[in-house]
A = this chain, B = another copy of it.
Amino acid sequence: MVTIKDVAKKAGVSISTASYALNNSGPVSAETKERVIKAAEELKYRPNGNARDLKSSKTNTIGLIVSDLAGPFFSELIRGVQEATLASGYDLMALSAIGGFDSTAAKFLKEKRTDAMIIFAHNLDDNLIKSAARQDMPIALLDRRLSSKYIINIEVDNFNGAYKAVEYLISLGYKRIAYISGSDDSYDNIKRFEGYKAALEAYGIGYAPKLCYKGNFIEAGGYQAAKLMLLQNDLPQGIFAANDEMAIGAMEAFDEAGLKVGKDIAIIGFDDIRLAQYVDPPLTTIKQPVYEMGCLAVRLLMQALQGDFPNEEEIILPAELIIRKSCGES
């Protein structure tokens, strides 16, 4: 590995002069500078970013942690974060939380390797996050709530989103409305479930535990849940799935059973992933403003880095009903 020392020696100058020349950071004569640069090129010198960061105790990068880099849902979020980060002149590194406590994400969280973090993952321990957050490492926590001076909570209005979804189903005349749930312990699943129950209640429809199915937020889970309904021979009129993936899984199952979604049974999802508009019939769903969330997170983090944290305990973004065809025409 060729270091700045080698460059300096080759150029016949001192290390500091070499550094100045290479970074335009100090007074160097044009001639010397050129000599240094030439030496660096000939030696194929590459600065060592780690050393620089160590010295300046600043990385100029913000990290984005998602539960699974490969998930389709994160595309929009990443887009938002990416644009905002780029605009602020920071670098972005995306990390996966797969593996939980042993994941790369956990490691980078513990060892300060970024100036700030955005976390959109549920498989990361509360304590881990809490203890990682500090003055010089603010964290924007999406769709999850944790109280700490250095954590900025940003969430979408899961409760009202779910409420709207169920209300819409009810407005269409459906009364027996099932719920396909996400991971039990996840914050958003809990909120969505509450919204589901509240809407039912508000319209004088009792909540029935047997209409609740487990789907774990994945397509296969939704498929299984629908299969179960089919098996029980006691189909609900409408289904509210806690995310689009599960809704799509359920649609497949009904499709296989020869049922017409939108006619024989109504399904509404949550998230509005890209696929939602392409499935047949197009999926009615609740749109999360993920892109905006990403941008907002970056902006708030930038401010936090200046020592300026928001006052609110959490920031809640509205969710919007997107009507397509899977619940029938309205």
Question: A residues touching B (Cβ–Cβ < 8 Å)?
Answer: 1, 44, 46-54, 57, 59, 61, 68-72, 75-76, 78-79, 82, 86, 91-96, 98-99, 104, 107-108, 110-113, 131-132, 134, 136, 274-275, 278-280
Q: Say yes or no: A274-B72 contact (C-beta < 8 A), given A47-B110, A48-B54, A86-B98.
A: yes
Q: Determine if A59 and B70 form an interchain contact, defined as CB atoms under 8 angstroms apart.
A: no
Name the CB-closest residue of B to A137.
B46
A136–B68 CA distance with the chains assembled, in angstroms: 29
Contacts of A76 in B (CB 8 A): 70
A112 in contact with B46 given A104-B91, A274-B275, A278-B275 (CB within 8 Å):
yes
Given contacts A49-B113, A111-B47, A131-B44, contact A95 B94 (CB under 8 A): yes
Query: Whose C-beta in chain B lies nearest to the C-beta of A92?
Result: B104
Chain A interface main SS type: mixed
A237 CA to B61 CA in the complex, in Å? 50
Number of copies: 2
Whether B110 and A46, one on each chain, are in contact in the complex, defined by CB atoms closer than 8 angstroms, is yes
A sample of 7 cross-chain residue pairs with beta-carbon separation below 8 angstroms, ordered by A number, consists of A1-B57, A52-B111, A69-B82, A69-B92, A72-B75, A72-B274, A91-B108
Tell me if B104 and A96 are in contact (CB < 8 A): no
Inter-subunit contact B46/A54 (CB<8 Å): no
Contacts of A78 in B (CB 8 A): 69-70
Of B44, B61, B107, the contact of A91 (CB 8 Å cutoff): B107
Q: Which of A59, A75, A76 has its CB near the most chain B CB atoms (within 10 A)?
A: A75
Quick check: A92 and B96 within 8 Å, CB to CB?
Answer: yes
A183 to B71 Cα, complex, angstroms = 26
Known: A1-B57, A68-B82, A82-B98. 4 other contacts (CB 8 A): A52-B111, A86-B98, A92-B104, A93-B93
Across the A-B interface, give the 10 residue pairs with the lowest CB-CB distance, nearest first. Answer: A49-B111, A91-B104, A70-B79, A94-B94, A70-B78, A49-B113, A50-B54, A69-B78, A93-B93, A278-B278
Shortest Cβ distance from A248 into chain B, in angstroms?
A: 8
Q: Give the complex CA separation of A280 and B279 in angstroms.
A: 8
Q: For residue A57, which residues in chain B have a CB less than 8 angstroms away from its CB?
A: 1
